[in-house]
Amino acid sequence: MTGGRARYMSLLSLSVPQKIMFSSIGLMTLVVATAEIGDKTQLLALCLAARFRTQLPIVLGIFAATVLNHLLASVVGVSLASILTPEILRWVLTISFALMAYWMLVPDKLDDVDCPTEKPRYSVFFTTAFLFFMAEMGDKTQLATVAMAAHYQSVGAVVFATTLGMLIADVPAVYIGDKLSQKLSLVWMRRISAAVFVALAVASWLTPLEQIRVAG
C-alpha cells in the first residue's frame, strides 16, 4: 500500500509539461493502436504468423522494424517542424491530421505479393523485419508518426508511443490470429481513430502561434 501511495504521489508531483507529455504519449498510443486494427501491416502480421507457425521471431521482427521505421519518420517530422514557420506548421498539421482522419475510414487490403508463400531465404526474424519495414513505408501509421512528431516535436516520446501502439495491435494478432479482430468492430476502430485525428486537427488549428515553437 505504501509503495502504491508513493507512486501515486510521485505522479501528482510531476510538472505540467511532464503531465502533458504523459497524456500525449497515451493519446499517441491510442491513435496508432486503433489505426493498426485492420491495417495492411496487421494483415501482414496475421499472414506471417499463419505462414511460419512461430510467434516470438515475428514479434521481435515487428518490433525492430517499427522502431527503425518510426525513428526515421519521427526525425523527418521534427525536422519539418524545425524549418517551417509556426503559421505554416499550423496549416500543415491541421490539413495533415484532417486528411489522416479521412484516410483512417478507408479499409486496407493486403496484396498477395506482400505475403511470402515460399520458405524464407533468411531467418523468420529478418524476413519479418524486412517485410514489415517495407509495408510500413508510406502506410497510415508511418505518416501519422511523421505528423505527430511534427506536432509534439519529441522523437523519443513519439517513437515510444507509436511503437507501443503497434505492438498492442499486432502482438495479439500474431499469437491468436484473427480471433481478436473478429470480436472487434473494425468500422468502429476506424471511426475512433478518425475522431482522434479530427480532434488533433482542431487542436492544431486552435493552438496559439506563440506556443508553436520549433524543436531544439
Read off the pLDDT of residues 11-58 as tens digits, 9 standing for 90 and up: 445 444 544 556 788 888 988 888 888 788 888 888 888 888 788 999
For residue 192, the one-letter residue type is: I
Assess whether pLDDT exceeds 60 at residue 112: no
Q: What is the average per-residue pLDDT within 205-215?
A: 62
For residue 13, the one-letter residue type is: S
Q: What is the average per-residue pLDDT within 125-134?
A: 93
Most confident region among 2-16, 30-44, 139-153 by mean pLDDT: 139-153
pTM for the full model?
Answer: 0.77
154 or 193: which leads in pLDDT: 154
Q: How many CB atoms lie within 10 A of CB 116?
A: 16
Q: Which pLDDT value is given to residue 111?
A: 61
CA distance 181 to 128: 21
Q: What is the average per-residue pLDDT within 4-14?
A: 51
CA separation, residue 51 to residues 37, 68, 115, 175 (Å): 20, 24, 9, 13
181 or 145: which leads in pLDDT: 145
| 3-class DSSP assignment, residue 57 | helix
CA distance 110 to 57: 21
CA 3, chain centre distance (Å): 32
First to last CA, the chain: 40
| Sequence-ordered strand ranges (E) for 8-104 | none
Most confident region among 38-42, 73-77, 98-102, 107-111 by mean pLDDT: 73-77
- As a whole number, the mean pLDDT across the chain is 80
Q: Which pLDDT value is given to residue 113?
A: 45
CA distance 92 to 80: 10
